Amino acid sequence: MLGTRELRRRIRTIENVGRVVDAMEKISAARLSREKTRVLGSRPYIEAVERAVRNLATTDRPPNPLLRHNASRDCLLIIVASDKGLCGSYNSNIIRAADKFAAEYQHRRLHLITCGRKLRKFYPRIRGGILRESIPVPGPPYDELADELAGMIMQHYLMEQTGYVYLLYTGFRSLGANRPVLKRILPVEPVARPRPVNYVYFYEPTVSAVLELLLPQYVRLTVWAAFAEAAASEHAARMVMMQQASLNAREMVGDLVLASNKLRQANITRELSDIVGTAEALTGRSRRGAA
């Protein structure tokens, strides 16, 4: 059984850990607020660009090279995870989704562009190569790396070094409901059946000219959005984990304080019993001496 001194030492240690995780929770909450504003503010624009590209893909004749299926059967997968842990199942969910993707496309050669040190454990599981390893995970506003990766993606696709480009990241929905998202970037999937509308679009000078400017922007924005959504999801996951860790620390401190109080009370009771017993023994001896 632990002594009073050891219990007090453990209480101080857990209280220090509790202060650390409480600070980490506040930091994650502040960063989540910024990333959430960035994600929610840019999402309508990015969705509008994607919708315009998919609608234009049905009318572009002959199709833009980024819209055509090339002869390559290789797949390029861009995975976005994190550099750090302490964020629950955030990284393990991404790795599990990447394993599932690699199993489904095992008949094709898989190339990777990874972002995050926690993905290193995934490398030995694939039959392919690492085209780009982005370490560390970029901080906001992600523009420089998004431009670099977008250029690399389009170059590999136009040179027919890869036939399909997918993006795997954690999409942000709410504080505790974020799931991995697998999205195909290239070739662009045109809408199967455009919805009837009561207005007409006019594109100047031509649909092909508009797509030539819009498609690179679409690829760049899709990569940029993946970094922003993944960052918001990571901070949300870390905030939830730190909240749980802080709660567990308080519960452990409460249990240890209770155990310490019980032990101290038992020690006091035992000391009082010893004092009373000694006093009674001395009183009995004095009485016998007087007799």
* Same domain, yes or no: 267 and 228: no
Average pLDDT, integer, range 37-59: 87
| Neighbouring C-beta atoms of residue 274, cutoff 10 Å | 10
Does the residue 12 lie in any domain?
no
End-to-end CA distance of the chain: 46
* Same domain, yes or no: 277 and 142: no
* Same domain, yes or no: 170 and 272: no
Does the residue 125 lie in any domain?
yes
Residue type, 58: T
User: Is the Cβ–Cβ distance between 253 and 105 less than 8 Å?
Assistant: no
Domain total in the chain: 2
Q: How confident is the model at residue 121 (pLDDT cuts 50, 70, 90)?
A: confident
User: Is the Cβ–Cβ distance between 186 and 98 less than 8 Å?
Assistant: no
* Same domain, yes or no: 124 and 267: no
Q: Residue 206: CB partners within 8 Å, gap ≥ 6?
A: none
Share of the chain above pLDDT 90, in %: 25
CA-CA distance, 219 to 285, in Å (whole number)?
Answer: 98
Predicted structure pTM score: 0.83
CA-CA distance, 128 to 126, in Å (whole number)?
Answer: 6
* Same domain, yes or no: 250 and 145: no
In terms of pLDDT, which residue wins out, 291 or 184?
Answer: 184
Query: Could you write out the DSSP letters of every residue in 202-269?
Result: --SS-HHHHHHHHHHHHHHHHHHHHHHHHHHHHHHHHHHHHHHHHHHHHHHHHHHHHHHHHHHHHHHH
Does the residue 211 lie in any domain?
yes
* Same domain, yes or no: 161 and 282: no
Find the CATH number of the domain harbouring 37.
3.40.1380.10
| Neighbouring C-beta atoms of residue 228, cutoff 10 Å | 24
User: Is the Cβ–Cβ distance between 176 and 88 less than 8 Å?
Assistant: no
* Same domain, yes or no: 174 and 122: yes
Does the residue 268 lie in any domain?
yes
* Same domain, yes or no: 135 and 263: no
* Same domain, yes or no: 128 and 256: no
Report the DSSP beta bridge partners of residue 182: 168
DSSP 131: E
* Same domain, yes or no: 193 and 250: no
Does the residue 193 lie in any domain?
yes
* Same domain, yes or no: 261 and 224: no
Q: What is the mean pLDDT of the chain?
A: 84
Does the residue 228 lie in any domain?
yes
Q: Answer whether the bond into residue 44 is a cis peptide, omega within 30°.
A: no
Does the residue 5 lie in any domain?
no
* Same domain, yes or no: 214 and 274: no
Query: In the prediction, which pLDDT does 206 show?
Result: 80
Does the residue 124 lie in any domain?
yes
Tens of pLDDT, residues 4-13:
788 888 889 9
- The whole domain housing 216 covers 27-241
Inform me whether the pLDDT recorded for 128 exceeds 90: no
